Each structure stands twice: as structure tokens, then as C-alpha cells.
Amino acid sequence: MNFKKTAETLIKDAHTLEQDYYINPDILQKEYENIFLKNWICAGRSSDLNEKGQYKVINIGTESVIVLRGDDGELIAYYNVCRHRGTRICEKESGQFSKSIQCKYHGWTYNLNGQLFGAPNMDTVDKFNKNDYSLHPVTIAEWDGFMFINLSDSPKEFETAFAPLMNRFSHWSIADLAVHETKQYIVNGNWKLVIQNYCECYHCPILHPDLAAIHNYMGGHNDLYEGPFLGGYMDLNEDKESITASGQLCCPPLDGVKGDNLNRVYYYSIFPNMLLSLHPEYVMYHTVWPEGIDKCKVTCSWLFSKQTVDSGEYKTSDAIDFWDMTNKQDWYISQLAQLGIRSKKYFPAPYSGQESLLAAFDKHYLSVLNQSV
């Protein structure tokens, strides 16, 4: 990682968001329209779909997307909407198509490339042409082994949107890592509270004493501090090697991780729904999905080298169990925050100097939320 020291200061007069942003359903609808349906959102790992016809469904607001591995082995995505009567085709979160995609209502059938080839009793309809009724495509991209989808009708080029992150994490060779375990959580709090909580460690000494014993919340540096990508590193304490139950490495460091990176953990939020954490020997990522103004679904996955996963020789559970505990602490406090924000006595308060990334997140969030185009 090419690291350059930069000046970072708290935005002048920065304060927490107004109550409405956490409790008003109209705001959530606006978030769907201007944020989640117009920007690149993380849809998981491309290794989630290894076989031809394998699919997963991404639901966001009123939209639903089928992401699958096509006939040619490429990743493709479609709106989960039959072209006949608009019926949702897939109900399950994941599954396997054989050689076709069929709607359960009237049997309209599509190949894996989304082209309609079976439409019972439509041959008598004047000028009906199957070529006019392919599944609606969704733009998809891959980066470092992650899948991203964009539901905008005119999406920004992925390489342009993600230019600050291209090759930034090459030392970890994330594309080559294997998902070792995934956990899913339901948090009874607004999705932004989960992101904002991740973007600061001001709370760590009180909420996460075990984590605070591994790295000092005052140590580290943010190298991305404005725009859609925020974060940087925290230094491990002198006697610690990684974030695990023991504070020691749970397996050998990743091959490309050398020098200072052996003594640091990097944390990045990738707007709007991805959190990426890079450790010396593993990578962890979260995706965050709003399921209501006061509810969200969070998935967390741990990635290790394939050699580590295949060998079964290492106690990777030391990392997974530690972060599972820490995750649950974060969700607990996020839920308490949601309850408190609902009070008539909640008023915005100033951010501390340890919460500069939250102010930066809010600034970008508001700019995207209120965009006119």
C-alpha cells in the first residue's frame, strides 16, 4: 500500500444528523432512490457463484436482482421480474438453475443469458417477438473478488467510481482469498448507525475492552477522509500481532503483507453498504442492507488464504469468534442508539475529534441523498 501522510481535521461545526434521518420512512425511501439504486453496491464475493447457473438474490427496497453465473462463466445480473406480468421469478436467497430460468406464473422461460425462448400460447399474438422480452439487465462489476451491482439506468463506470481503491490493497491479494465463514445478523437500528459505528473507535475503550487491549484507539491514521471511501489504519499494541482472542496471529501472515502492514489493521467504509477490514493474516468484510427505517441486515465474512482454509491446521476461530463477539457488541449499542434517537429529547450534538470520519460520512451521505439528478 502506498501510504501518504495527509492532514485530517474535523469538519468545522460538525454534528450528528437530525432525528429524521433515522426515524422517517420518507427519508429511507429517498435513500433507496438516490443512494442504493444509483450507486455501486457490494453484492458479495464472486466465489459465491462458482458453477454455471448458480444464483443469489439481492433485495433492496422494492427492487430484487438475480445475480448468476452465466453459460459462458461470466457473472451477469437481471431484475427479478418476469417480462410477462411482472411476477417475481426467484423467491429463495440462493439456488441453482439447471439450463433455464422459468417464471412460476405462466411458464415464460429464459436462458441463462436472459433471453426469452419459451412463452406458452403467445404464438397467436400479432407481432409478438421473443427477442423483445429478454430479462432486464443490471450492470455488474468485479473488484478484488467482490461483486458489485448498479441499478442506475446510466451508471457511472465502475473503474472511474472506484479509482481511489484500484490496486490499493494489492498486498493482500484479496481476489485469491477464500471465504472461510459467513455470519448474518439482524440489527434493530438504522443502517447508517452500523456504518457510523464502524467509522470510529472513540467507543472502543468502553464498549470493546478486549479490542482496546489489542490496538489503541488513539493510534493510527486515516488516509481516505472525504468522499465515498473512508478509513485508514490503527497500530497494533507492542505485544500484539493481530485481532484474535489471543492477540496473536491465528495463522501465517498473507504472503504479500510485509513491513509496517504486519503491525497494522486497516479499516475502510465503502459507500454505501460495504465495510472492509484488513489484518496481517486475514480479511473481514461486512455488507449492510436496510430492511426498514429502524432495521437492517448485516452479513460478515472472513477471508483467509486457500492454503490456510484447506490445511485445517490453524485455529482461525480465534479471529472469527473474537469479531463475532465484537460485532454483537456493536449491534447492541447501535440498537440502543436507535431507541434513544427516537426520543423527543434527542438533538444533534457536536462530533469529537475522534469522529472526523463520521462527519465526513454524513457530508457525503447528504450530498448524495439530496442530489437532484
- At 27-51, the pLDDT tens digits run 999 999 999 999 999 999 999 999 9
Asked if residue 227 has pLDDT above 90, the reply is yes
Question: How many whole angstroms separate alpha carbon 33 and alpha carbon 152?
Answer: 9
Please report, for residues 62, 181, 244, 302, 318, the alpha-carbon distance to residue 299 in angstroms, rounded to integers and kept in the order given.
20, 11, 19, 10, 19
**pLDDT of the residue at 13:** 87
- Above 90 in pLDDT, residue 371? no
Taking only the tens place, the pLDDT of each residue in 271-290 is 999 999 999 999 999 999 99
Within the chain, residue ranges assigned H as helices are 20-23, 25-31, 158-161, 191-198, 204-207, 209-212, 306-311, 317-341, 356-369
159-174: average pLDDT: 97
Per-residue pLDDT tens over the stretch 331-341: 999 999 999 99
Q: Is 341 helix (H, G, I), strand (E, B) or coil?
A: helix
Task: Give the CATH architecture of domain 13-37+165-373.
Answer: Alpha-Beta Complex (3.90)
How is domain 41-161 classified at the architecture level of CATH?
3-layer Sandwich (2.102)
Residue 103: exposure state from Cβ atoms within 10 A (0-12, 13-18, ≥19): buried
Question: What are the start and end residues of each CATH 2.102.10.10 domain in the chain?
Answer: 41-161
Task: Provide the percentage of residues in the chain whose pLDDT is more than 90.
Answer: 91
Q: Which residue has the higher pLDDT, 102 or 6?
A: 102
Residue 87's pLDDT is: 98
Amino acid at 190: N
Sheet holding 221-225, edge to edge: 178-187, 295-304, 283-292, 274-278, 264-270, 229-235, 221-225
Judged against a pLDDT cut of 90, whether residue 140 lies above it is answered with: yes
Q: Is 207 helix (H, G, I), strand (E, B) or coil?
A: helix
| Dist CA 65 CA 57 (whole Å) | 6
pLDDT tier at 372, thresholds 50, 70, 90: low
- Evaluate whether 178 touches 47 at the Cβ level (below 8 Å): yes
Q: Closest Cα to residue 221, out of 16, 36, 12, 6?
A: 6
Q: Answer yes or no: is pLDDT of 5 > 50.
A: no
By the 8 A CB rule, do 64 and 80 touch?
yes
d(CA 56, CA 39): 19
Mean pLDDT for the stretch of residues 149-171: 97
Place of cell 458453477: 51
* Residue ranges of the chain assigned to CATH 3.90.380.10: 13-37+165-373
What is the chain's mean pLDDT, rounded?
A: 95
Rounded to whole angstroms, how far apart are CA atoms 363 and 11?
Answer: 9
Q: Which cell goes with 6?
A: 495527509
